[in-house]
Amino acid sequence: MKLYDFKMAPNPRRVRMFLAEKGISYQQAGIEVVNVDIGKGETFSKEFKEISPYGGLPVLELDDGTRISESMAISRYFEELYPETPLMGTDAKSKALIEMWNRRLELGLYTAIAYSFRHGNPMWKPVTNQVAEFAEVSAENADKQIHKLNKHLAGSKYIVGDEFSVADITALCAIDFAKVIKRRIDEEKHPHLARWHKLVSERASSQA
Amino acid sequence: MKLYDFKMAPNPRRVRMFLAEKGISYQQAGIEVVNVDIGKGETFSKEFKEISPYGGLPVLELDDGTRISESMAISRYFEELYPETPLMGTDAKSKALIEMWNRRLELGLYTAIAYSFRHGNPMWKPVTNQVAEFAEVSAENADKQIHKLNKHLAGSKYIVGDEFSVADITALCAIDFAKVIKRRIDEEKHPHLARWHKLVSERASSQA
């Protein structure tokens, strides 16, 4: 199969980290990487629109030609194929709680950062009706979400209790992505977030 | 367990439809419904923030006190407990494709409608830094997403192939919700979407 990937973008990183955490070797799993350079606008091309009609990267192309986009859908595919080292929970309750936190992080933190970037950065102008005021409002929302996450992590080792999960991958990729809107972790203001960030950044998968 | 619910809102409808499709009886499953009136601002209250710190409705409260928010997380909880009549796929590929389409619909169509409503309707003023221009841009995005979905449904009976899934629930609740931004299906312009809409609206679950 083929994995359409780009090293510098946060969503492809989520899938690479997921594979690394599960110990899936690209060679053994038969994954061939195809690089798509977002910086050069390659995701806006006609060719790429054929591969990903909703414009997203990464995309996993199976050997039968089926194309799966959306990081979480690709992650779920591998969670099903390789159930060892579960990252999406093991029973109804843990699966629901991991999905809940993953979504809170996506719909809150991640979306706020992405919207601020998309509406405020010239790179997105060709494909976005940019609203400068919304870029600012979104950056403020990102700050509120970071604050909220810091409070949550005061009482939780990982995003969902004592076990590392896909929600930690989403949170790490979002927090590190926030540099594009000039947000970095402030250890004084967000000690719990800083503690968690150090803990998950030390995992080998964070470099995948 | 308790299900915090509101008849008029699209997200609680997703969970009610999911339960109805799976044939889960509230009485047998031990689900007590607690009505939270979004129209009266009850989701903005301090009491409700305790129940749902990220502000969302519906919320499922388990008998051990665990609270699960996010429609899809609640749906997944019931999918795990009642695996008969699967709505989220049956193998790695179908699970991934349903998740992909569900997310495309959420991140594209649903979000565009919700943002246009949230940034354009006075009801949301107390909890949103409204940007009027973004409400308009989002309504235009909703139109594009509706157009795209119509094209997709030209070649697909349901959202994902020949089987009804949770992605159809998400799409129906989003499309019907679009009336808050004065969007309705135009049979001339969107015949495939209209065909699909009739098909899924005829299911008993659509009235749940």
Q: What is the CATH number of the domain that holds B135?
A: 1.20.1050.10
For residue B134, give the nearest of A74, A81, A131 by CB distance.
Answer: A131
pLDDT value, residue A39: 85
pLDDT value, residue B55: 82
Domain edge (last residue) among B47, B81, B115: B81
Residues A65 and A158 in one domain: no
Instruction: Search chain A and give the residue with CA nearest B115.
Output: A134
In a domain, B87, yes or no: no
A33 vs B: CB within 8 A: no
pLDDT value, residue A55: 82
Nearest-angstrom CA–CA distance, A60 and A31: 9
B69 vs A: CB within 8 A: yes
Nearest-angstrom CA–CA distance, A72 and A58: 10
pLDDT value, residue B39: 85
Q: Is B155 exposed, middle or buried (0-12, 13-18, 19+ CB in 10 A)?
A: exposed
pTM of this prediction? 0.97
Residues A196 and A103 in one domain: yes
Residues B105 and B200 in one domain: yes
pLDDT value, residue A8: 92
**A60 bridge partner residues:** A3, A68
Low-confidence ranges of chain A (pLDDT < 70): none
Q: Which domain holds residue B38?
A: 2-81
Residues B77 and B97 in one domain: no
Residues A46 and A115 in one domain: no
| pLDDT tens digit sequence for B40-79 | 889 889 999 999 999 899 999 999 999 999 999 999 999 9
pLDDT value, residue A127: 87
Q: How far is A114 from chain B (nearest CA, A)?
A: 12
Residues A71 and A123 in one domain: no
Low-confidence ranges of chain B (pLDDT < 70): none
Residues A17 and A57 in one domain: yes
Which residue type, as a one-letter code, is found at position B153? L
Residues B36 and B113 in one domain: no
Neighbours of A125 (CB within 10 A): 11
Long-range contacts of residues B66-70, Cβ cutoff 8 Å, at least 24 apart: B66/A93, B66/A97, B68/A93, B68/A96, B68/A97, B68/A100, B69/A100, B69/A104, B70/A99, B70/A100, B70/A103, B70/A104
Q: Using an 8 Å Cβ cutoff, are B115 and A85 in contact?
A: no
B202 vs A: CB within 8 A: no
Nearest-angstrom CA–CA distance, B3 and B26: 10
In a domain, B86, yes or no: no
In a domain, A201, yes or no: yes
In a domain, A177, yes or no: yes
In a domain, A127, yes or no: yes
Instruction: Search chain A and give the residue with CA nearest B65.
Output: A93
pLDDT value, residue A140: 97
Residues B181 and B138 in one domain: yes
In a domain, A196, yes or no: yes
In a domain, A87, yes or no: no
Can you give chain A as a three-state secondary structure string? CEEEECCCCHHHHHHHHHHHHHCCCHHHHCCEEEECCCCCCHHHCHHHHHHCCCCCCCEEECCCCCEEECHHHHHHHHHHHCCCCCCCCCCHHHHHHHHHHHHHHHHHHHHHHHHHHHHHCHHHHHHCCCCHHHHHHHHHHHHHHHHHHHHHHCCCCCCCCCCCCHHHHHHHHHHHHHHHHCCCCCCCCCHHHHHHHHHHHCCHHHHC
Residues B99 and B180 in one domain: yes
Domain edge (last residue) among B81, B105, B120: B81
pLDDT value, residue B47: 92
For residue A34, what is the domain's CATH number? 3.40.30.10
Total structural domains within chain A:
2
The residue of B1, B3, B91, B134 whose CB has the most chain A CBs within 10 angstroms, and thus the best one to mutate to test that interface, is: B134
Residues B140 and B196 in one domain: yes
Residues A68 and A113 in one domain: no
Domain edge (last residue) among B81, B107, B141: B81
In a domain, B6, yes or no: yes
Interacting residues of A147 by C-beta distance below 8 A, sequence separation 6+: A190
The residue of B77, B101, B124 whose CB has the most chain A CBs within 10 angstroms, and thus the best one to mutate to test that interface, is: B77
Nearest-angstrom CA–CA distance, B90 and A147: 39
